[in-house]
Copies of this chain bind each other. A is one copy, B any other.
Amino acid sequence: MMPTKNFDQRRYAQLFKQMCRIRAFERAAINAKNEGLVLGAIHPSIGQEAAAVGVCENLNKDDILLSTHRGHGHTLSKGADPSAMMLELLGKEGGNCAGKGGSMHIADFSVGMLGANGVVGANINIAVGAAHAIKLKGENKIVVCIFGDGAINRGPFLEGLNWAKVYNLPILFICEDNGYSATTHTKETTAGGGPVVRAQSLGIKAETFDGNDIITVDQAAQDYIERVKKSGPHLLHFLTYRLEGHTSTDPAAYRPDGEADGKWSNDPIARCRNLLVEDGVSAEQLDKFDNEATAEMTRVYKIARDASFPPALDAYKDVQDIGNPQTEAF
């Protein structure tokens, strides 16, 4: 943990608020799912909020972000409107993806969030290409590409990281390591020293950090973003834990008894709260942040619940330009 003498109360209060918003958004989404309002799968990131917030808070709006199937937190942190996101999760009109994507394809290009992805690891190559375009155009921004610990066993991890280094692209890879690949302990299917050592073998500087400590994440992110701007690709490995199931309906019975209970004491939001309390912020103030987040997401939930589904014929929009996708769909 970082020395508290550097503790920037305003900043961490702000980050705390953001984490509360993510948690509240996902609680509202799970609630909606349980009520039958979300028809597809959702993959909550409860317990992993620090990595999302600590990284994204250090990005500019025009920096680019790509995420995984577990992307609500990243998308919100990057500045997306939660109503549009919730509308998307419910497949409603006004959703970011016009109801075509749902949770697994959540994206908000207007804030540089280029999409969650339903295919593990597929975002890596796409992110590398986004960074390649930035370099070609001589723009002064970076790409952040987030993936899970399971993704490092897919080919794109090798191809994408090698590529990023060969062309020296402005990209920060982030491995959010929650220990699991769906129902499997990732370590059982992963050889060698893990993402950091693999990245290093490709000439990419990489380090492991406590991903549940918001200060650590924040400072590591700041440091590494500067490094990326100076000298190309880097990788951050954040240790965290998925406090709930792989999807919202997964009871996660494959976990050793009591594992998750024990991990709640390491909840990044609770830890951040403690830091703020120690630094003199009142419990009331923190509750207020939390309640505001809950209230915001309750509003968002209601907006989404009451919205209508997109017209059926919108299914023919945005297929492709040449040829009329409706009249010539057969």
Determine which of B156, B159, B165, B192 lies in contact with A162 in the assembled complex, contact meaning CB atoms within 8 Å.
Answer: B192
Q: Does A251 belong to the interface (CB within 8 Å)?
A: no
Q: Does A197 belong to the interface (CB within 8 Å)?
A: yes
- Specify which chain B residues have a CB less than 8 angstroms from the CB of A155 in the assembled complex: 154-156, 158-159
Chain A positions 180-197 with a Cβ under 8 Å from a chain B Cβ: 188-193, 197
Contacting pair B191 A165 (CB below 8 A): yes
- Which of A158, A164, A189, A202: most chain B CB closer than 10 A? A158
In the complex, the chain B residue whose C-beta lies closest to that of A158 is: B158
Instruction: Count residues of chain A with CB under 8 A from any CB of chain B.
Output: 25
Determine which of B161, B191, B193 lies in contact with A166 in the assembled complex, contact meaning CB atoms within 8 Å.
Answer: B191
A275 to B147, CA, bound (A): 53
- Specify which chain B residues have a CB less than 8 angstroms from the CB of A162 in the assembled complex: 153, 189-192
- Specify which chain B residues have a CB less than 8 angstroms from the CB of A204 in the assembled complex: 191-192
Q: Does A61 belong to the interface (CB within 8 Å)?
A: no
Closest beta carbon of chain B to A190's beta carbon, Å: 7
In the complex, the chain B residue whose C-beta lies closest to that of A162 is: B191
Q: Does A305 belong to the interface (CB within 8 Å)?
A: no
Contacting pair A154 B159 (CB below 8 A): yes
A165 to B192, CA, bound (A): 8
Determine which of B159, B164, B198 lies in contact with A202 in the assembled complex, contact meaning CB atoms within 8 Å.
Answer: B198
Q: Does A325 belong to the interface (CB within 8 Å)?
A: no
Determine which of B157, B164, B193, B201 lies in contact with A193 in the assembled complex, contact meaning CB atoms within 8 Å.
Answer: B201
Chain A positions 283-318 with a Cβ under 8 Å from a chain B Cβ: none
Closest beta carbon of chain B to A237's beta carbon, Å: 13
Closest beta carbon of chain B to A132's beta carbon, Å: 14
A162 to B188, CA, bound (A): 11
Q: Does A200 belong to the interface (CB within 8 Å)?
A: yes
Contacting pair A201 B203 (CB below 8 A): no
Chain A positions 195-246 with a Cβ under 8 Å from a chain B Cβ: 197-198, 200-204
A190 to B161, CA, bound (A): 10
A-B interface, 10 closest residue pairs, ranked by CB to CB distance from nearest: A155-B155, A165-B191, A192-B203, A201-B201, A158-B158, A192-B202, A191-B203, A197-B201, A198-B201, A191-B202
20 contacting pairs across A/B (C-beta < 8 A): A153-B162, A154-B155, A154-B159, A155-B158, A157-B158, A158-B158, A161-B191, A162-B191, A162-B192, A165-B192, A191-B202, A191-B204, A192-B200, A192-B201, A192-B202, A197-B201, A198-B198, A198-B201, A198-B202, A200-B201
Besides the known contacts A162-B191, A197-B201, A198-B202, 11 further A-B residue pairs in the complex with CB atoms under 8 A apart? A155-B155, A155-B159, A158-B198, A162-B192, A166-B190, A191-B202, A191-B203, A191-B204, A192-B200, A193-B203, A198-B201
Interface residues of A (CB under 8 A from B): 153-159, 161-162, 164-166, 188-193, 197-198, 200-204
